[in-house]
Amino acid sequence: MWINIKGTSNKSKVGKLSKFDSILKQNKEIKNFVVSDVDSEWNSFLDMVGESTEVKKVETKPKSKIKSLIYTLSIGIAATLVLLLVFTLALQPETKIRESYTASKNNDIIQLADGSKIFLQNGASIEYPKVLSEANERKIVLNGSAKFDVTKSILPFRVYNNGIIVEVLGTEFSITQENQKVIVENHSGSVQILEAKTEIISEF
C-alpha cells in the first residue's frame, strides 16, 4: 500500500517535468520572440479609438485659516522653485541640453526622452536633445545613416542631414547617406522633406 502511493507520486512528478521539457522543445519554432512595451502600445491603442487617458483632478480644500495660509505659502515656495528651475534651465548653454554620440556598431540605439528610437549604422554620428520639456522641436542632426522609430507627439521631429530636413510627427523611416546622396525611406506614416538653410549645415 505504502509503496504504491510513493510510486504514483514519483510518477506524477516525472510527468510534470517532461511536460515542461516538451513545451520548451515546441517553443523552438519561435526563433525570435519580440517583446514590445504593452503600456505604450495600449496608449497608442487608446489614441486610435479616441479614448485618451483622463487626468484625475484632486481638489484640495484648506480646512482652517492656518492651514490655508500654509497652503498658500507652500504654493508660493513651489512657484518660486519652479521659476528658479526654469531660469537655470534657460540660462544653461544649449550644449548641456543636447548630446552628441557616434555609433561604434550597427543598430546602435539612442532613445530620446519621449521614447523615440534611433538605430544608428556604424560610424553614424548624431546630435540630439537630452531633455524635451523646453524644446519646441525634436531636432536631430545626423551625419551618416539611421533608422527612426518616432513616438507620436505635437513636437515636430526634424532630422537635419546633409542639406535636407526630414520632418515628421510620428512614424517610422530611415535615412541612408551615400556620399552626396541621401535616401529617405518611409516605412509607415508620412514624412516631409525640406531643404535646409546653409547655416544649419555649417553648424554641423
Partner 1 sequence: MVSRPFVSKADFENVFKEYFNPLVNFVNKYLHNIENSKEVVQITFVKIWHNREQIEIKTSVNAYLYQIAKNSMIDFIRKNKHNLAHAELNIMQIEQLSDDNASALDPYIVRQAIEKALAPLKPKSREIFELNKFEGLSYEEIAEYLEISKRSVEDNISKVLKHLKEELKNHPYFFD
Nearer to partner 1, 2 or 20 (CB): 20
Rounded-to-integer distance, Cα 93 and Cα 98, Å: 9
Shortest distance, position 175 Cβ to partner 1, whole Å: 17
The x, y and z cell numbers of residue 145, run together, are 545613416
Shortest distance, position 115 Cβ to partner 1, whole Å: 15
Nearer to partner 1, 2 or 33 (CB): 33
**Ramachandran assignment for 110, one of left (phi > 0), alpha (psi -120 to 50 degrees), beta (any other):** beta
Coil, helix or strand for 28? helix
Shortest distance, position 38 Cβ to partner 1, whole Å: 4
Q: Which of 119, 114, 121 minimizes the C-alpha distance to 137? A: 114
Shortest distance, position 168 Cβ to partner 1, whole Å: 15
Nearer to partner 1, 76 or 189 (CB): 189
Positions of E strands within 145-191: 146-149, 157-161, 164-168, 172-178, 181-188
Interface positions with partner 1 (CB under 8 A): 16-17, 19-20, 23-24, 26-31, 33-36, 38-39, 41-42, 44-45, 48-49, 51, 172, 187-188
Nearer to partner 1, 10 or 27 (CB): 27
The x, y and z cell numbers of residue 116, run together, are 523615440
Nearer to partner 1, 29 or 199 (CB): 29
CB atoms within 10 A of CB 142: 23
Nearer to partner 1, 48 or 90 (CB): 48
Shortest distance, position 27 Cβ to partner 1, whole Å: 5
Q: Cβ contacts of residue 169 below 8 Å, gap of 6+? A: 150, 152, 153, 154, 156, 157, 189
Rounded-to-integer distance, Cα 127 and Cα 119, Å: 13
Shortest distance, position 29 Cβ to partner 1, whole Å: 7
